[in-house]
Chains A and B, each alone.
Chain A
Amino acid sequence: MKETTTLKKSAQTDGLSRVDGRLKVTGAARYSAEFNIKGLTYGVLVGSTIAKGSIKSLDTKQAERAPGVLTVITHLNSPKVPGYQDGKPTGNGVFKIFYDNKIYFSGQPVALVVADSFERALFGASQVKAQYNQDNHQTNLRANVNTAKAPHGDGTYKRGTEDAWKTAPVKVEQEYIIPSDIHNPMELHAIIAQWDGDDKLTVWDKTQGVQDARDEIAQIFKLKKENVQVNSKFVGGAFGSALRTWPHEVAAIIAAKALNRPVKVVLSRADMFTSVGYRPHTWQKIGIGATADGKLVGITHEAIGQTSTYENFTEGTVGVSQSLYACPNVNTSYKLVALDVGVPTWMRGPGEATGAFALESALDELSYQLNIDPIELRMRNYAQTEPQGGKPFSSKYLDEAYKMGAEHIGWNDRSPKPGTVNENGWLVGYGMGGGMFGAYRDGATVKAIMMADGNLILQTAVSDIGPGTGTAMVSIASEMMGIPAEKIRFDMGESSLPQAPTQGGSSITASVGSAVYAVCKDLKEKFQQLIGNGGTDKPDYAQVLKQHNLAKLQVTSSAQGGDERKKYAMFSWSVHFVRVKVHPATGVIKIDKVACVADSGHIVSPKTARSQIIGGAIGGIGMALMEEVVFDHRYGRIVNNNFADYHVPVNADIPQIDALFVNKPDPYINPMGAKGMGEIALIGMASAVANAVYNATGKRVRDLPITPDKLITMDVELS
């Protein structure tokens, strides 16, 4: 990118409320399952009750006879899927549903019952009787670490001397464990599939990327891309669970074909635990050492995560140890254990969130050993350039973020001695933890149409899972064009619109925003051409069109990053500060105060940005205090597959949260100077909570979640 001009903070859009807010607060926003299509039928999946083996027999007669049931699709009668050719369990990126009789995980769909109403489909599903040949399954990570294998090469990274931390005068070596966490967006994954003849397909599908979904579906069903239309106008959260196409989507499409009627499949909340990925259960070990004055000597970070037997899932768990601090000697290793479980997938702050919990906990432990304030310790090892390759950062204001956060939380009130502050019978503690995530940018194309009445329409195929993409894009366009937000419409969520990337990896504002920026610039240029020399930069567009007798003026522009990425290391940064209160006798933990600071470059849409940070922090609180998938390994089955037993935070768990921004533009990443924030909002939060709990109680919980039972049964650790 050559342009490095950055947008000024605009008063006009500063407090911009969500452009789609009205639809959301009135119930008019329609999500994937909510399209009332003529002749709609309802599909309900039947899941396997064993974790490994094969289907011996499937009795679907009773289900087929149940009133209203139209068909029961299983591997025995499923129409062949053209893209499923070889004998492998996964094809074109999707686990092959109804492909053969093999069972790879408990909950794997073995049948889809389709009926003329949801009630009837649900009852039909309960009438399907399956018998299995059961094989011995393995679902326990801890019991199988000896089978861990590196996913690529030997899975290691090294700079400087291996295990140098051992030679340091002050050191910590500990194991940190996170359980599997489920994305659990509030909207259940859903799809409506409708064929038009043999070669045209429309789906209303919960997805973070309408065009990626289109491409995958087109490949699986061997259709022309332009004959597959994927719509996902409103997405009720996803956090990564809708980054790829899942088997239930294929199932609905198969059934719609078999019946020649539109079919809707909505996962149950229980299905959400087995069928759309999760943050994988991961064991980590960190060895970290420093000189007496707090200079890091070395870090060794090992991670072993779980994956499925039919597909590997990898993530950047150990990356934080490579890049967060200036440390001369770092070696990491990353391995996977393949288990008889569904495949994990990226979940908000993938890998980094897991890794940061371990690293930032270990650093906290080290700070007590050194008797150095945790912020000071971080500052003494502040990376001025990217520690792996020495590249300069495109921007990094983490030091400012530390200061802002410390001030807001009242860090000065923190006692460096754990377990010493008691307020009315509650122990009080402070903790902090930071995070980083690559600031990415993809190519994107936006079409802009200036209408005769001066209203601007922007179109691109991005989807919005909640951060407020439309709002951010309208903010950018409003400032660029000098017209109020109310006059701008942002069309998205349809695969036929101009190219846009999948919403993930905190890259949308940078990617699509740059294209919005580019298209506005080009549109303005077109207006300049019409006006001729001497026109103002932001003319009265309607009047210009009228003068030239034009009904509209439109332009389509693309934008993508250039070689700035070769010169600079680009990251977003965050730091989280937490004050907790712990009741010593009962182990009850209350989050008392939170301050999160993001270095995300220029903040394009402050109101929605603030919400995004708050949301990420709450996700981190859930991860720290309550979220945990529990298996009964005897059956290889999840025993808490619902919202009553898998706890996510409720309103009572969450205090007011200060969401703060350094708000300094990154001069290189894109014309807005904006970096991502979706991931860093969560990364590091779990460690901040754990560190605060330690500061309050002297109890160091290294296996999440930190539930009351753990606190009351563990001893105080004295450093």
Chain B
Amino acid sequence: MAETENLNETSAQIKSSKGEEDIIQIVGMHKWYGEFHVLKDINLSVKAKERIVVCGPSGSGKSTMIRCINRLEEHQQGQIVVNGIELTNDLKRIEETRREVGMVFQHFNLFPHLTVLENCTLGPIWVRHTPKKEAEESAMEYLERVKIPEQALKFPGQLSGGQQQRVAIARSLCMNPKIMLFDEPTSALDPEMIKEVLDVMIELAETGMTMIVVTHEMGFAKTVADRVIFMDEGEIIEQNDPHEFFDNAQHERTQLFLSQILAH
């Protein structure tokens, strides 16, 4: 009984806050892997153009949370509304959401059998039904923005890690998404390549893209983020603007995490 009441309450909340420009709304979301309770009562709203950095210890559920936003993972309880569409098992809604949400992965996940350019045009041509020529032109523009237009005809296997990740970013941008999700985009990269990827992300942030970035690059969080979220053991422990977050962490676990991560 109590549970159904809760649900009613949350859907009422969503309705009331519609109209405002919350582009992502997660309300009372839970997720389990079998018996394992990975995400516990996640509540998060993101405004359009907001830039959010998510951090927390390994295994705390950061990836799982952002993967719920484009339904790479299914949640079992609560609500997720993205760009006005509530995510359910309905394939139509999932596809519609994914069209507006780009994702960049830790291991790039470029398609090795396609050239850089083909990687970038695949989505626009097949999902957005853009004519091939137009898709290619716009792909070249994005490749220029991530500063590798000269690699367009190469295969991903011939590029360095940093270049591959920049292609992956361009590939997502080619879909013209409203929201970009980044899951540790720099943690598989050698130190000298991290900067080139972060630079691209900073430029992207300046264009006003809504971004949710899972990262441990605290410098990036300080310069770019509007809000930093700290997760531990499947819960959002604390969220604050970067200055408050780094200088004045409220929670003991946040302080411990920050001291560990800033130690080196």
Whether A associates with B in a native complex is no
Chain B residues packing against A (C-beta within 8 Å): none
